[in-house]
Structure 1
Amino acid sequence: MSPSGGCGGSTTLADVLAPERRTRADLLAAVAIAVVVVIAMVVVWCISDARGTVSEPATHAAEQPAAAEELPVALRELWHAPDGAAARALTAGGVAVAGDGGTVTGYDPVSGKQVWKYQRDMPLCGVEAQYGTVIGTYRDQRGCSQTTMLSADTGARRTARSSYMDRAITLTADGTYFLAQGSDRLEVWRSDLVRTLEYGYVDAPVNVKTQPRSGCTLLSSISGSTRLAVLEHCPGDGADRLSVLNPAPKDATTPEEYGSHVLTEPGGNVDGARVLAVSDNRVLLYLPGTGTTTPELAIFDGTANLLSTDRLNAPLPPTATTTRIGSAYLIYSGNSVIALNASTFDPLWTAPDALGSPALMAGQILIPVDGAIAALNSDTGAETTRIPVRRSDYHNGPISLAVVGSTILEQRGGRIYGLGR
């Protein structure tokens, strides 16, 4: 009897298990698929960010030097390096940090030797540092949209984010958040670069109606742990508008506004107004003078209502900066440093003849002055000593100070200088 049981034919086990024969067409198809895969991999590599990135992390983490217990009696320039992308002198993780072109570099603060380097084939929009990390924001075809976070002590890549941004931004850090602000939109980021807030222009059509206003130009902004203050000019307002928001609302795409106020005060419709500082329940604005009024520092509450104003003797230049040191905000006015209480913004003291923004060393406030660095009592602003320093290639521009261990960093003229004994 036939084991197949059907149609009078027979099927053997060998016939069932016999392998299919590969034809010439099959082999050619397989080769073609392999070639396509290889070409696709090459194309992806050629256009990927990795191809245009050079990362040279440190083999050993830099050590945080001990804080200086006393001020040096004299200073000299130990080294210098390009630093055209950072807005201020930066230090974190025991290194001096500089950004220039497409490169972020960590330097040994004493020798100036490279500790690590991170480089991309696109220009930097800004560099900032806090939490022992460094972030560099780069410009691509979507604007200043690509941000990378590095460990400050090694330069190793931690994380990154990408989003639509303006082609020019101001990048700041407040001790809690990073803030990236352009003329059309801003974003607030956590310490892991997760976005906590987007404000202004929104590229996702589904989210447009979540914004309180549209078509506004963002002029200035500063974030704090509980408040974000934005100075903007919106169609139909007739003057600048101060908006106070939650920097980390429940939904990052839906701003929570504590208050918004069109500046009817003198100087509210004059170019040059900007946010100078933010505390838990106060906002400090600079209002330029008009033809009949003097420039002022205006204090608003946490819901954007005016509380008081203080007159200034002269207008603030665009290079004016604000630095938080301890329980005071220190404003570099272009020719002096004005100390304000960090909670109320009440004036504390004023130090004349300043060339730039201050730093803290051995319990004293350091400010750059002509031919020296002046040390001030942090409570009274009284000068205690001057440390002579000869500055090479200095052309009277603003100077930003930072301190790491016993080294003082000066950023000026697009370079960072290490000063020591």
Structure 2
Amino acid sequence: MGRIKPERRTRTDLIVTALIAAIVVAAGVAVWWTSPARHTESVTATTPAPVQLPAENVPREVSVRWSAQSDVTTVPQITRDSLVTASGGTVVAHRLSDGTDLWSYRRNLPLCAAAAGWTGGDNDVLAVYRNSRGCSEVTSLRGSDGARHAARTSDADDTVHLSIDTGYALLYGPTRLETWGSNLVRGIEYGRVTAPVNPDVAPDRTHCRLYSAVSGADRVAIVERCDDDPGYRLTVLSSNLTSDEKIRQWGSTLITTSAAGPAPRVVAATDSTIVVYDGGADPSGSVGAPQGPRLRLFTPQAESRSEHPVAGDAQVPERSDPIIDQGVVSFWTGKATVVLDASNGNPMFQVTDAVGPGAVMAGQLLVPMPGAISVRRVFDGHEEFSIPVDRGQVVGPVALRVLGDTILEQRGTQVVALR
């Protein structure tokens, strides 16, 4: 068999080959240039932070050890061993001893929200970034070293609120809501859905505006107002889809007769009770029930159970969020901090003139007060003593958390470590 002569490559062939190679290289450079990886800077921890053991007692005096900027959080966000702050496009975990960086994660996108959570389970930090689709890019970082281990993206509103309970993360904005498990797999999406795969998945309500939402006990409680609603509605959904891929609605009912005043605010969701703060601008509720600011308790089916007067403003301050800590929920109404039993939602007591929600330290409840931290018995609110604190010009709200023997206060957009 004779030898086959190789094909001759003409000058045109060489030019075409060179052009194809140039296009491939240019495309690769373009992909790299616009890729999230190029615009991401991740500095993971080289050594772990010291383990934070629970405090054995509450100090009688404290001083400021360090502070850090955290624009997008309203409550100090803590992992098992560090404080997490979020500003601009950067999330930073700080060592409690001196505030130095343990790890950091930065993108060239603005942060919408950040939260640390899954207490007792996964030690994770979630960072939500804004792009052309709203606050839609979510990254999960390991709390121990800052390594990225999960991400997701989906349609979202331009402004959102992020929270994490023991089972689910909850992200909601004015028109839509999502829950995710710790692996960032979506549980439910509710509200505005651009292209629903199954139109019959969600309850039959349209053009709903979401005002507040809280997750707990595998449920999501929402205050919303939908088409043809004269007032505000309380809706309770399951945090995950049913076996036939539908949203389970536990209950939904109108809780005000009009929308003339500010929307009520969901405070807590437990196995047996949904707690809503109502500023009393709309005289609603059963005949003879308390009027004015009050806590309204509902069953998981959104049926009214009881009402309890509290001190508060007609509208809860925008940066006021509940804190769940060691069996109690504390929530600042603008004029008082109300304390609930986290297991059943029942009100326990309120601390008037407080400036924010508190947390538990060595079995005592710490509540921020003007110029001090009030140390109280958890079961009845009796004050044991007071710790002087100089906050300068800061009036409130002040949200308080505890990690180890460090007291952390979020004062506006600053987080301050007291020891």
- 1:8-157 alignment runs, 5 A limit: 13-16=1-4, 18-130=5-117, 131-157=122-148
Deviations 1:195-236 (A, max 9, x none): 100000101144444322111111111111322111110111
Query: Aligned partners of 1:353, 1:178: CA distance in 2, in Å?
Result: 32
Deviations 1:379-403 (A, max 9, x none): 12111222222224x3312111112
Verify the 8 A CA contact 2:125 2:142 in the aligned structure 1: yes
Relative to structure 1, the CA distance from residue 204 to residue 404 in structure 2 (aligned partners, 3 Å threshold; closer, same or farther) is same
1:306 aligned residue? 304
1:349 alignment partner, SS class: strand
Moved more, 159-168 or 323-332: 323-332
Deviations 1:64-98 (A, max 9, x none): 22221122232111111110011211110311100
1:4 aligned residue? none
Query: Aligned partners of 1:25, 1:371: CA distance in 2, in Å?
Result: 82
Query: Aligned partners of 1:232, 1:41: CA distance in 2, in Å?
Result: 47
Moved more, 287-296 or 304-313: 287-296
Query: Aligned partners of 1:404, 1:290: CA distance in 2, in Å?
Result: 38
Relative to structure 1, the CA distance from residue 215 to residue 47 in structure 2 (aligned partners, 3 Å threshold; closer, same or farther) is same
Give 1:291 deviation, angstroms: 7.1
Segments of structure 1 that go 5 or more residues without pairing to the other structure are 1-12
Give 1:34 deviation, angstroms: 1.2
2:348 aligned residue? 348
2:163 aligned residue? 172
Query: Aligned partners of 1:317, 1:271: CA distance in 2, in Å?
Result: 6
2:49 alignment partner, SS class: coil
1:383 aligned residue? 383
1:26 alignment partner, SS class: helix
Give the residue type in structure 2 aligned to 1:188: T
Query: Aligned partners of 2:106, 2:243: CA distance in 1, in Å?
Result: 34
Relative to structure 1, the CA distance from residue 120 to residue 251 in structure 2 (aligned partners, 3 Å threshold; closer, same or farther) is farther
- 1:326-341 alignment runs, 5 A limit: 326-341=326-341
Deviations 1:242-292 (A, max 9, x none): 1111111236963211111122x5677632312111111211112232476
2:286 aligned residue? none
Stretches (4+) displaced over 6 A: none
Give the residue type in structure 2 aligned to 1:255: I
1:256 alignment partner, SS class: strand
TM-score by length of 1: 0.91
1:223 aligned residue? 215
State yes or no: 1:238 paired with 2:230.
Answer: yes
1:398 aligned residue? 397
Give the residue type in structure 1 aligned to 2:3: D
1:356 alignment partner, SS class: coil
Deviations 1:172-201 (A, max 9, x none): 112211100011100001011111000001
Give the residue type in structure 2 aligned to 1:119: R
Verify the 8 A CA contact 1:401 1:411 in the aligned structure 2: yes
Verify the 8 A CA contact 1:296 1:309 in the aligned structure 2: yes
State yes or no: 1:183 paired with 2:174.
Answer: yes
Relative to structure 1, the CA distance from residue 381 to residue 267 in structure 2 (aligned partners, 3 Å threshold; closer, same or farther) is farther
Give the residue type in structure 2 aligned to 1:239: G
CA RMSD of aligned residues (A): 2.0
Give the residue type in structure 2 aligned to 1:39: A
The alignment covers a number of residue pairs equal to 405
Give 1:23 deviation, angstroms: 2.9
2:287 aligned residue? none
Deviations 1:363-419 (A, max 9, x none): 211111222222111112111222222224x33121111122211111112111111
Relative to structure 1, the CA distance from residue 359 to residue 51 in structure 2 (aligned partners, 3 Å threshold; closer, same or farther) is same
Give the residue type in structure 1 aligned to 2:403: V
Verify the 8 A CA contact 2:232 2:263 in the aligned structure 1: no
Verify the 8 A CA contact 1:266 1:289 in the aligned structure 2: no
1:35 alignment partner, SS class: helix
Moved more, 351-360 or 337-346: 337-346
Relative to structure 1, the CA distance from residue 92 to residue 330 in structure 2 (aligned partners, 3 Å threshold; closer, same or farther) is same
- Bigger CA radius of gyration: 1
Query: Aligned partners of 1:316, 1:328: CA distance in 2, in Å?
Result: 24
2:265 aligned residue? 274
Query: Aligned partners of 2:335, 2:223: CA distance in 1, in Å?
Result: 25
Verify the 8 A CA contact 1:222 1:228 in the aligned structure 2: yes
1:15 alignment partner, SS class: coil
Give the residue type in structure 1 aligned to 2:294: E
2:294 to 293, 296, 305: 296
Query: Aligned partners of 2:198, 2:112: CA distance in 1, in Å?
Result: 26
Verify the 8 A CA contact 2:232 2:258 in the aligned structure 1: no
Query: Aligned partners of 2:245, 2:32: CA distance in 1, in Å?
Result: 33
Give 1:317 deviation, angstroms: 4.2
Relative to structure 1, the CA distance from residue 364 to residue 110 in structure 2 (aligned partners, 3 Å threshold; closer, same or farther) is same
Moved more, 84-93 or 23-32: 23-32
Query: Aligned partners of 1:157, 1:355: CA distance in 2, in Å?
Result: 36
2:229 alignment partner, SS class: coil
Matched residues, percent identical?
36
